[in-house]
Amino acid sequence: MRALDISEVVEQTGLRPSTLRYYEEIGLIKSIGRQGLRRQFAPQTLMQLSLITLGKSAGFSLDEIAGMFGEDGQPDLSREDLRTRADDLDKQIHDLTVLSKALRHVANCSAPSHIECPKFQKLLRVAKRPKKR
């Protein structure tokens, strides 16, 4: 498999060149060498970027994400860690589900104001304290 120009990576990931350079600068990804001035990326990097994007959408910081990769750029988490991450996600999923359902309910609810709707009340009880993360 041949190395990829930055433009190809941009093409395939939808990220901007400046973002890729930034990611490299902070050590999140690595380029495999240069062709003249130009960075060359390993095809591997594409999957890494997929994971990074996914991780971000799950609310992880770049720093946290960086910690999930080993020196080789391959995901490197203990089974323990993986389960902890999954547990976190499940909690987040649960909260979002409550919110989504509440929104849908309110959309169909006939109570004169949202505040008076009991489901809405319940929603507020779920949202008690900010997370640790």
Partner DNA sequence: ACTTGACCTCAAGTTAACTTGAATTTGTAT
Partner DNA sequence: ATACAAATTCAAGTTAACTTGAGGTCAAGT
Task: Give residues with Cβ within 8 angstroms of 44, minimum separation 6.
Answer: 73
Look at residue 50 and give the partner it binds from DNA, a copy of itself, none, a contact being a CB closer than 5 to 8 Å depending on partner kind.
a copy of itself
CB 46, min distance to DNA, A? 15
User: Based on C-alpha coordinates, what's the Rg of the chain?
Assistant: 21
Query: 117: helix, coil or strand?
Result: coil
* Residue 22, contacted partner among a copy of itself, DNA, none, CB below 5-8 A by kind: DNA
Q: Phi, psi at residue 128, to the nearest 5°?
A: -95, -65
Integer Cα distance of 5 and 41 in angstroms: 6
Question: Which option in a copy of itself, DNA, none does residue 110 bind, with CB closer than 5 to 8 A by kind?
Answer: none
Q: Which is nearer to DNA, 65 or 102 (CB)?
A: 65
Q: Minimum distance between the CB of residue 64 and a copy of itself, rounded to whole angstroms?
A: 14
Give the one residue of 7, 54, 67, 122 binding a copy of itself; rule: CB under 8 A.
54
Give CA–CA dist 6/20, Å, rounded: 8
Size of the site for DNA (CB under 7 A): 18
Rounding to the nearest 10 degrees, give the CA dihedral for residues 49, 50, 51, 55: 100
**What track of x and - describes contact with DNA for positions 62 through 81 (by CB under 7 A)?**
xx------------------
Q: Which residues bind DNA (CB under 7 A)?
A: 5-7, 16-19, 21-22, 35-39, 56, 61-63
